[in-house]
Amino acid sequence: MNQIDLLVKGGEVWTPAGFIEADIAVGGGKVLALGKSPVLPATADHVIDAKGKKIIPGLIDTHTHHRDPGFTHKEDITTATMAAAAGGVTTSIGMPNVNPPTTTVERYRALVEHHRKNAIVDFNHNPSGTVPEEIPGLAKEGPLAFKIFMVKDTGRDYPHMPGIGINNNGELFKCFEAVAGTGLPLMVHPHDQDLMDEIEGRYWKREDRSPQAYAKAYRDYDGIIWDTAMATLFRMQKALGARLHILHMTTPEGIAMLRRAKDEGRPCSCEVNPWALFLGTWENVEKMGPYCLGFWVPPAHVDAIWGAINDGTIDMIGTDHAPHTKEEKDRGWADMWSCPGGEPQIQDYLSLFLDAVNQGKLTLDRLVRITSYNPAKVFKLFPKKGVLLPGSDADLVIVDMNKEERISNETTYTKVGWTPYHGRKVKGVPIRTILRGKTVMQDGKIVGKPGDGELVKPLG
């Protein structure tokens, strides 16, 4: 066995076969072995006592808006990855709606170098898949996927930027075809622009641009703007044999489409976002207005999401961490269509889901699968990431399932300084985040440094 740098003792460690009582020997940033003394030594230079705690693989967030470059008044790579580390995330994947958007190899390389200098956790960045001639070259740089928005916002130019939105099916097909040729997945924000224009226009004619009108518009006819877009995507995927990853899954019909595709053995996957389960209630729409939008998710849709998480149809959680300043959000009280959608998520989502485990809504095993194991499998980071087995990166989170905390704006690391979950009490929190054998968060305090993060590329 190689030199042991760190021994994590006494915890219950998640493995694909379930939780086991084991010590973890770490050396050179890798898991060397799991076991007990005398198989493993009783001590090492650095020892962490994890008795009574759960040890899970570091979370992989496949949908983080780092906001950098171009929108650093909201967030930057360092603050985003500080929030990530605080929430147990050891790998954070950025999105292309930055400025300039990542549509070329030159921009992609510059962004990767910027991450190398500033990220506290491991990273990658998914470029835009909207310029077919750039896609083969971008694929050689090592992204995990390409990203397309099927939407161009009306009344605002962010976060769904006109330069990287596609709402023409012919153009979408060409881009999908180009991505399919690389073997990488295409992740898509599904949105039927023509239907949305018609539905929005009906509210505007009534001069109703309130948060409540916005929430209803995006969920009108039981979420038709999502479902018609997903039907198009699944049909294109079937024609091309491509890898398709659906973002923002929230509708029962969309879940049914995904389930059918999986039953046919097609390479389709999806994420659900924390806001869909913990934030998007009508009560919050009334009370929080722009601070919870995003999108309204009716109770029947929430129930369908929980069911699909627990039966394995939904593959993973992507935070859609999307910070905006309070000044930007406050515009939404008078006109939600002039206000950017989204809110901070990455620091709080593990605690929200651990609390849900304690409430019996899902098992801890299922939570690990949707936050780490499955993302690593879908995006080909496994077994480097997503599991704690010999040879894997020593990315781990020590979790206290009995600790109670109240989420607060005062302890958030996101640059905008607020969380939509302020004041919410949770039971179950991450108490230490370890990145490749190095502690980057301990008891809520960030001890990692900019530059600790490394670029991770798909394996094979």
Q: What is the pLDDT of residue 448?
A: 99
pLDDT tens, position by position, 339-350: 999 999 999 999
Is the pLDDT score of 138 beyond 70? yes
pLDDT tens, position by position, 73-82: 999 999 999 9
Is the pLDDT score of 418 beyond 90? yes
- DSSP secondary structure string, 6-33? EEEESPEEEETTEEEE-EEEEETTEEEE
Comparing 45 with 346, the larger pLDDT belongs to 346
Q: Which fold has domain 59-378?
A: TIM Barrel (3.20.20)
pTM of the model: 0.97
Pick from 164, 181, 163, 158: nearest CA to 126: 164
pLDDT tens, position by position, 181-227: 999 999 999 999 999 999 999 999 999 999 999 999 999 999 999 99
Query: Cα separation of 35 and 208, whole Å?
Result: 62
133 Cβ partners below 8 Å, 6+ apart?
none
153 Cβ partners below 8 Å, 6+ apart?
159, 160, 162, 165
Backbone φ and ψ for 135, nearest 5 degrees, come out as -65, -45
Domain boundaries, given as residue ranges, for the chain: 59-378
Is the pLDDT score of 161 beyond 80? no
Model confidence at 333, pLDDT cuts 50, 70, 90, reads very high
Q: What is the pLDDT of residue 164?
A: 86
Comparing 41 with 299, the larger pLDDT belongs to 299
Q: What is the pLDDT of residue 292?
A: 97
Backbone φ and ψ for 372, nearest 5 degrees, come out as -145, -60
Is the pLDDT score of 278 beyond 70? yes
Q: What is the pLDDT of residue 153?
A: 65
DSSP tag of 391: T
Q: What is the pLDDT of residue 15?
A: 98
Model confidence at 406, pLDDT cuts 50, 70, 90, reads very high
Q: What is the pLDDT of residue 410?
A: 98
- Per-residue exposure over 318-353, b if at least 16 CB sit within 10 Å of its own CB, e if not: bbbbbbbbeebbebbeebbbebbbbbbbbbbbbbbb
- Beta carbons of 152 and 160 less than 8 angstroms apart: yes
Q: What is the pLDDT of residue 157?
A: 59
Q: What is the pLDDT of residue 162?
A: 66
118: left (phi over 0), alpha (psi -120 to 50) or beta: alpha
Query: Cα separation of 125 and 112, whole Å?
Result: 7
pLDDT tens, position by position, 91-135: 999 999 999 999 999 999 999 999 999 999 999 999 999 999 999
Least confident of 27-31, 35-39, 74-78, 284-288: 35-39
Query: Cα separation of 17 and 205, whole Å?
Result: 57
Cis status of the peptide bond prior to 298, with omega within 30 of 0: no
163 Cβ partners below 8 Å, 6+ apart?
101, 103, 130
Helices (H) and strands (E) in the chain, counts: 14, 19
Query: Cα separation of 300 and 396, whole Å?
Result: 35
Average pLDDT over residues 330-346: 96
Average pLDDT over residues 407-422: 99
Mean pLDDT of all residues belonging to the chain: 96
Q: What is the pLDDT of residue 159?
A: 63
Is the pLDDT score of 44 beyond 90? no
Both tokens assigned to 409: 């704006």
Pick from 22, 84, 80: nearest CA to 56: 22
Average pLDDT over residues 137-145: 99
Q: What is the pLDDT of residue 155?
A: 58
β-strand pairing of 46-49 with 244-246:
unpaired
Model confidence at 1, pLDDT cuts 50, 70, 90, reads low
Average pLDDT over residues 309-316: 99
